A and B are shown apart, each in its own frame.
Chain A
Amino acid sequence: MTDPATTAHRAPAFLADAWRIARKDLLIEFRTRSAFLAATVFAVLAVAIFRFTWDPTAIPAMDLAPGVLWVIFTFSGLLGLNRSFSLELAERAYDGLLASQVARESIFVGKVLANFVFVSAIQALAIPAVALFFGLEIGGAWGVLIGIVLLAALGLSAVGTLFAAIAANTRLAELLLPMMTLPFFVPLVIPAAQASSVVLRGLPLSSAMEWFKLLLAFDLMFVSACIVVFPFTIEE
């Protein structure tokens, strides 16, 4: 048996512990692919439905496409967020994690990191799909568009992870999570949609700066507030 007197331990390491948790979550998702497949199917279906109900003579593609993109972003993200804590609670593995020396804040950051990768990966499929279905010429705007998506994904992951932790212990977690999170997604999705609209129209980047700043401000606010609040969601 591992002897209590002789086992060498290191002190808790905030970022290393967070990365360990993110890596574990991503490995589980990679093995099972359950949330990723569901989110991908949803994204493709949503794009297809929007495309075939769209009347190009009534609404220009540039007006509709950013909206479609952010609808997909929001709802496909929810699928991953739900899974984030359900995988911990299935066999009560969460108790083991909470009983470990990993700081609560590290658990949160690790979960956010995994959700961030998940949401970004879905967007990496959704953006080309939207571009293809709506005939968008993204051209040189790719870099900026990716930047917008990453900023929005960070805020969404932070808020979503916090509420997923709260909802996970309830019987109606899958219903409760969208109800709790969607109001908080609005301040992220509006500037992201506006900034991406500016970028897709090929307008100067300076005209999107205000939206960028707003998005960044909400990111900072949400990430820091959620890190502080998360430990309180664990207490029964």
Chain B
Amino acid sequence: MPIPHGTAATGVADSSANRSADGEGDVALVAEGLVRAFGARKAVNDVSLRLSDGECLALFGPNGAGKTTLLRLLGGLLRPTRGRTTLHGTLLPGPSATRRLVGLISHHAMLYPALTVRENVRFAAECQGVIDADAATTRVLQQLRVLDRAETAVRYLSRGLQQRVSISRALVHGPRLVLLDEPYTGLDEVGALVFTEALRELKASGATLVLITHNLTEGLMMGDRAAIMQDGRIVHEERAENGGFDLPRFQALYRNLVHEAIA
């Protein structure tokens, strides 16, 4: 049975409606021939991507495949050895103001434990130049259902709540491109549901998402496209068809590709 991807499942207008006939609508993110070498080893080797507004790419692959390095390249946190990334025509990494187009969520909390929830998120909002940082902070904390803990120091929160605050921090400035590296790590069921809902709203608002996860089910649920990385290269890529992905087929394909490479 096909797994419906996020927008179709919630009834939010499918972003594919905005795309041109060839499926490549308003192209938001373009990565061309990205290579990132650490010494002699190429962590990312000739990766090219095109993602539209409101589109989500679910990226899978074994540990060490180069997924996180690719994410850091797309976010402008790393300079590529070769190749280029543009977001809405702006080269990344570019002038500092272009970085506010990007939101980064990782399995690290990326928070200051001694500061309160509100202080952490407001600091992120201010650093991203949000003019009404207080209002934006309250709004995003309410959305992620952590407003009642706003005045609690982050170090007193559970791992799952910290992750929700971390997500609030990354989304408070309304990024156009959201990069998610194992964002579900540490989230309980409620936290995962709240987060998934937030991602769907973000997609509906036109943001482009790149989601790295080891969980094929949650990745395919959210993604409009799915790709598998192996040894720094994208070895398989496909689009959701007929409202979703065929999970058993994709699982089998993933095992074949990854296990074949390991063997």
Chain B residues 177 to 222 lying within 8 A of chain A, measured CB to CB, are 198, 201-202, 205-207
Question: In the bound complex, do residue A5 and residue B130 qualify as a contact, i.e. CB atoms below 8 Å apart?
Answer: no
Measured between beta carbons, the chain B residues less than 8 angstroms from A235 are 78-79
Segment from B5-13, B59-67, B108-116, B233-241 that makes contact with A: B108-116
Partner of B174, one of A7, A20, A28: A7
Question: In the bound complex, do residue A93 and residue B112 qualify as a contact, i.e. CB atoms below 8 Å apart?
Answer: yes
A100 and B104 alpha carbons, distance in the complex (Å)? 9
A6 and B127 alpha carbons, distance in the complex (Å)? 18
Partner of A28, one of B38, B112, B126, B130: B112
Question: In the bound complex, do residue B127 and residue A9 qualify as a contact, i.e. CB atoms below 8 Å apart?
Answer: no
Chain B 155-185, CB-CB to A under 8 Å as 1, else 0, gives: 0000000000000011111111000000000
A96 and B104 alpha carbons, distance in the complex (Å)? 7
Instruction: List the interface of chain A (C-beta within 8 A of B).
Output: 1-12, 17, 20, 24, 27-28, 31-32, 87, 90-93, 95-104, 235-236
Question: In the bound complex, do residue A10 and residue B206 qualify as a contact, i.e. CB atoms below 8 Å apart?
Answer: no
Q: 20 interchain pairs (CB within 8 A)? A: A1-B198, A1-B201, A4-B206, A4-B207, A6-B174, A8-B132, A9-B128, A17-B127, A20-B126, A24-B115, A90-B113, A91-B110, A91-B112, A93-B110, A95-B110, A96-B110, A96-B111, A99-B104, A104-B96, A236-B78
Question: In the bound complex, do residue B173 and residue A2 qualify as a contact, i.e. CB atoms below 8 Å apart?
Answer: yes
Question: In the bound complex, do residue A28 and residue B104 qualify as a contact, i.e. CB atoms below 8 Å apart?
Answer: no
Question: In the bound complex, do residue A1 and residue B131 qualify as a contact, i.e. CB atoms below 8 Å apart?
Answer: no
A20 and B75 alpha carbons, distance in the complex (Å)? 23
Question: In the bound complex, do residue A95 and residue B97 qualify as a contact, i.e. CB atoms below 8 Å apart?
Answer: no
Chain B residues 93 to 133 lying within 8 A of chain A, measured CB to CB, are 96-100, 102-104, 106, 108-115, 119, 123-124, 126-132
Q: Does B31 contact A (CB under 8 A)?
A: no
Q: A7-B173, A97-B127 are in contact. Are A1 and B205 (CB under 8 A)?
A: yes
Interface size on B, residues (CB 8 A): 52
A4 and B172 alpha carbons, distance in the complex (Å)? 10
Measured between beta carbons, the chain A residues less than 8 angstroms from B98 are 101
Measured between beta carbons, the chain B residues less than 8 angstroms from A9 are 97, 100, 128-131, 173
8 residue pairs, one from A and one from B, having the closest CB atoms: A7-B174, A92-B108, A100-B127, A2-B174, A4-B174, A9-B129, A96-B110, A101-B100
A2 and B75 alpha carbons, distance in the complex (Å)? 19
Question: In the bound complex, do residue B130 and residue A101 qualify as a contact, i.e. CB atoms below 8 Å apart?
Answer: no
Q: Does B19 contact A (CB under 8 A)?
A: no
Q: Does B139 contact A (CB under 8 A)?
A: yes
Question: In the bound complex, do residue A91 and residue B129 qualify as a contact, i.e. CB atoms below 8 Å apart?
Answer: no
Partner of B96, one of A90, A93, A101: A101
Measured between beta carbons, the chain A residues less than 8 angstroms from B206 are 4-5
A9 and B119 alpha carbons, distance in the complex (Å)? 19
Q: A1-B171, A4-B176 are in contact. Are A99 and B205 (CB under 8 A)?
A: no
Partner of B110, one of A1, A2, A31, A92: A92
Q: Does B226 contact A (CB under 8 A)?
A: no
A2 and B100 alpha carbons, distance in the complex (Å)? 13
